[in-house]
Amino acid sequence: MKTIRFMCGMPKIHFYICAMSFSTFIVLIIIGLLAGTLSGFVGVGGGILMIPLLIIFLGISQFEAQGTAIVAMLPPIGILAAINYFKSGYVKWEYAVIIALTFVVGGYFGSKISLNLNPEIVKKVFGVIMLFAAIKLIFTK
């Protein structure tokens, strides 16, 4: 089994050598591409796709999947997609700024609440939200 090793960690905090199988590396690339494509295509947060795929294909916990997805989305949160929509005149900056600022606050409190609940409850809530959104999108004109 091929293993990929690289430096991991946060700058100025700590670094260590990460090792993962080549197949895990490929699965992560596929998840990232699918989530980025879906995000750019329909404007959804990549976590809708990343979280279930991380759990299903890599067997990590609900909280690990949520934390991993949030960290993965921090730098690239759709910058290239945002540029494309901006160039086409489809960005309402005043809305985006308010949403972005309150998203930070909501993300903080949402993570605090989530981490104090049983992961199975969080997984069920996530599933219900996805199901509700899917039904609404499918049956609304």
Strand, helix or coil at 97?
helix
Convert the pLDDT of each residue in 39-70 to its tens digit: 666 556 677 888 888 888 999 888 888 888 87
**37 with 30: CB under 8 angstroms?**
no
Q: Which residue has tokens 């990590």? A: 60
Rounded Cα distance between 80 and 15, Å, is 29
Q: Which residue has tokens 């997984």? A: 123
Share of the chain above pLDDT 90, in %: 3
Residues 6+ apart with CB under 8 A from 39: 45, 46, 78, 81
Per-residue pLDDT of the chain (141 residues; tens, 9 = 90+): 566 665 555 555 555 556 778 888 888 888 888 877 766 665 566 778 888 888 889 998 888 888 888 778 766 666 777 788 888 888 777 777 777 777 778 778 888 888 898 989 988 888 888 898 789 878 987
Query: Which of 74, 75, 61 is CA-nearest to residue 114?
Result: 61
Answer yes or no: pTM beyond 0.75.
no
**How far is CA 57 from each of CA 32, 41, 48, 65, 96, rounded to the nearest angstrom?**
13, 23, 15, 11, 33
- Supply the pLDDT for residue 78: 66
Rounded Cα distance between 38 and 67, Å, is 19
Rounded Cα distance between 82 and 40, Å, is 8
- Supply the pLDDT for residue 59: 92
